[in-house]
Structure formats: structure tokens, C-alpha cells
Amino acid sequence: MKVACIDFSETGLFAPIFTDFVQQKEELKKFYHRYPSLESFEGQIQEKSQHSINRKQLVQVLEAQYAEVSKVEEAVKQNIESLGDEKTFTLTTGHQLNIFTGPLYFHFKIITVINACKQLKAKYPDYNFVPVYWMASEDHDLEEIKSVQLEGKKFKWNTEQSGAVGRMKTDGLDDLANKISGENSVFHKSYAQSANLADAVREYVNTLYGKYGLVVLDADNASLKTEFKNIIQDDILHNSVNKLVENCSASLDELGYKTQTYPREINFFYLKDGLRERIVKENGEFKVLNTELTFTEEEIKSEIENHPERFSPNVVLRPVYQEAILPNLAYTGGPAEVAYWMQLKSVFESFQIPFPILLPRNFGMIIPNRIRHKIKKLKLNKLDLFTERELLKKQITKKITAQKLNLNEERKELKAILENIKHFAGEVDLSLSQMTEAETEKISNSLNKIEKKMLAAEKRKHSDKMRQIDEIKDFLFPGNGLQERKENFLSFYMADPKFIRKLTKSFNPFNLQFHIMRWDG
């Protein structure tokens, strides 16, 4: 695919905290550790090397999880084994378990860490770098993952299960997969053969990305949570995290940035099959909301010690859990993720865990030939694609019309005449001056109406071009949102089996710009 790039700030679609981070604004530097450049990883490697990780346990957990995968790629096996070596490090991205992978940007995240690992290996050949997809298997927001958009159509998984999504049975998803992508598709097989959603996602992600060495980790695991017990206890009993994040958030607020996440006194859920509810402290007891479960302080300590797997971190402490159990150098996420990680730096410092490099995921827009031809006909440039629809129509209409579509000169002439009338009328009676002002406003509004009607009439003359603009906008910004956040990759993959490979060649993980990609599909 041919690629053109545009600065995030020129799209008008990204929050200031993200664009300022990318542009290395001085006031934001204290909220992160190292800027995401290839050169920054030398210091990150040295720092993370000093942080103790239970590598043996990590390898054992991954090997056990992959024992259920039908065909583990050799690159994945080698990467898992290499995690036992002190010279191996990870680059991690995380995402919800959306059905059929969800929107395109799920793949952009994964490709970012895959390509970054390749470039790091070339830069630092003495070390190994493993791309990791951290499944958000403990998340319980079913509504966010149960539907998918494909070529403008929405497909929904009808299930009423509750609790952590990774533990949910896949009943019904194989039939939906058959309807969407056929009975021989990777999704049909994964959903039909897997006991739960986490297993199914691992299966199809391995099929799609195993050859690139991507390792899928489900951290909903008793052994891994054992490494996190001290932090679980600290947060539940002492609430130190809450104040740290609040202070950091206040500092960002003072700079005019909108914060993304809000800490609680206790940042853990209680987790069992069919259940993931917040833990709160009331009247000296620890309660699990919306249940009858309660614990004394001694009982909650015992529960943490004996069953750490029953404690699920929220968005504030999930990043800390990740960095505590992985030899991780960088986290890859979108604008909101980069923003909320910047609220957490002091939390990492308090637990003496190295704060990872924040590497924004690749961002992109895929333009097939049929849409590119329309863009070419209209002579649109990169910036035009991000112009609001009606404004773009107005600009195009004015560019191509032979008629005058504004009354600026006439408005100036009328204004001069009315100013004279106001002066003469005011000398006769002051109230007539005020009346003249009101009438002037009415005339101005009438001129605006005339201009709009002239423009609308001219648009009708060029209805074909207006229709082409609608087609371009509907494809690139479905539902007025970015294509990458709405459309599923199957819209492209089913037409082009080499689509993923083409994406991996098109994205540069350290080019922090928006990628516009021409797809010959």
C-alpha cells in the first residue's frame, strides 16, 4: 500500500493532551518517563533489567495457556521460551475481547508492537523483543464488545451472560461467524472449538498473527496474581493509590488538560464466575457491591493471601499489574490510553516499578481504489479529507461554480447606506436610531438567507459531486467517526487475504503521524 502521512494536529480529531505529548511539549514531560523513540529504549532496557520479574512462572503460565491452541506457530514457541532469558523484553498492547476483533484499530495496535519489536532488534541486536497482546479478559462491560460493524452493517451477539467477559461461553458466536465469514473461517473454528471467549480470542489471534511471533497473555490467572498480592493489599487496606492519582490529575487539570480516568479509594473488583463487582469499605467492613459478600480486615487479608485471583484491578491498577509481571519496555495504546497512563507515573514510582515508554499505536485510514478515484476527481488533498462534510461541500461548490455566491460587496454598500439613515433618523428622534439598528439586523439576516439559498441552488446543479463527497465521507468517516474506530477488518481481509501483511509493511511504529493508505482492493 502507498502511504501518505499527516500530523495529528492537522486532522482536528485528537485531544490536546495527545497532540502535545507527540510534539513533546515541555509542560507534559514530567507526566511520562521517556519519549517513544528508538534511542530511548537503551535507557529503558537498562532500567527494566534491574526490576525483578518471575520469568520462570511467566513462561509456565504462557505454555499452559497455549497448550489449548490447535496449532502454535514456531515463532510464538520461541518467543515464549525466550522470556525466560534476562535479555528478553516485551512490548505490550492491550484490548477488549471484541467479537471478531472489533474495529480496525485492534489490528493497528498489534501491528505497532510487532513492527516496533523488529526495529528494536535491528537497533539492539544483543537483546530479544517479544510483542505481547494483553487480553482484557477480566473486563465486564459486555455491551462494549458484543457487536461488530462490517461494511456498514451491525452484527450483534445475543447473550445475557455476566461477569468477566473472558470467562463467558462462546455459545451463539459460531453461528454468527458462519453468517459473517463462513463456516471455514478462522472465527467460526475458534468460537466453535473454544470453551470460553478468552480461549477463542487467543486461538484466532494466534492464527492471524502467530507467524509474527505475537504472544497472547490472559492475566486472569492465579499464579500471576500471586506476584501482585502486596499491591492488592496495599490498595485495599491503605488506599495510597487514590491520593497519588488525584494529585497527578489535579496537576493536569491545572494545565488545562482533560483527565481520562478517576481513581477510587479501592481500585479492585471481586471476581468469580459470573461476578465482577466493586469492593468498597463501609463501617469498617469490606463489601462487594450488589452482593451479600462482606469481609472483616483479617478476612480480606486472608482472601488476598489465599485467592489473589479473585481480585481484579480496575483501569488505574491494571497497568501496574502488567508492568509488575512482564519484562516490559513500552505500552502501546490510543490517545485515551496514553492520557490515562500519564495520570499514573507517581503510582509506579511509589511501588518502585519502572514506568514504561508510552508508544502511541499507529493510526490509519484505508482508501480503496473506488474511493481514491472519487477523491482524485474532486481534486481533494490530504487535509480536505478531514474537513467537516458540509464545509467541504461549500468549499467545493465555490471552487467549481461560475456564479457569484456571496453578497459581501452588497452587504458593505447596504451597511454604509443604513449607517447614514441611522444618523439622519437619530437626529430626528433617538428612538428612530434604535429602530434603524433593528431593521439593519433584519436585513442582514435576510441577506444570509439569500446567500444560503444561492449556495443550495448551486449545490443542486452539482449534485453528482455532492454525492461523491457523501460517499467519500461515509466510507472514511462512518457514522461521523474515524474509519479505524468503526469498521471491522473483515471488510478488507475477505477481499484481500494479504491485507494484514500489507498493513505490517505500511505502518512505521515510530512515525508518530496519521497514516493514509491506498489499498488496491
pLDDT digit string, tens, across residues 190-224: 999 999 999 999 999 999 999 999 999 999 999 99
Quick one: pLDDT at residue 122?
98
pLDDT tens per residue, range 342-376: 999 999 999 999 999 999 999 999 999 999 999 99
- Give the pLDDT of residue 426: 72
Secondary structure letter of residue 127 according to DSSP = S
| Chain centroid offset of residue 517 CA | 19
The residue among 300, 351, 355 whose CA lies nearest residue 331 is 355
DSSP structure class, residue 213: T
Q: State which H helix or E strand residue 268 sits in.
A: strand 268-272
What's the pLDDT at 239?
Answer: 93
DSSP string computed for 162-192: -S-GGGS--TTHHHHHHHHH-TTSHHHHHHH
Q: Identify the pLDDT of residue 404.
A: 54
Question: Looking at the whole model, is its pTM more than 0.75?
Answer: yes
Report pLDDT for 464.
86
Q: Do the Cβ atoms of 111 and 362 come closer than 8 Å?
A: yes
Residues 6+ apart with CB under 8 A from 211: 73, 75
Between CA 155 and CA 176 the distance in angstroms is: 8
pLDDT value at residue 461: 65
Report the distance separating Cα 223 and Cα 74, nearest Å. Answer: 25
Q: What is the pLDDT of residue 174?
A: 93
Q: To 10 degrees, what angle do helices 229-238 and 297-306 make?
A: 160
pLDDT at 411: 73
Regions of the chain short of the pLDDT cut 70: 401-407, 458-459, 461
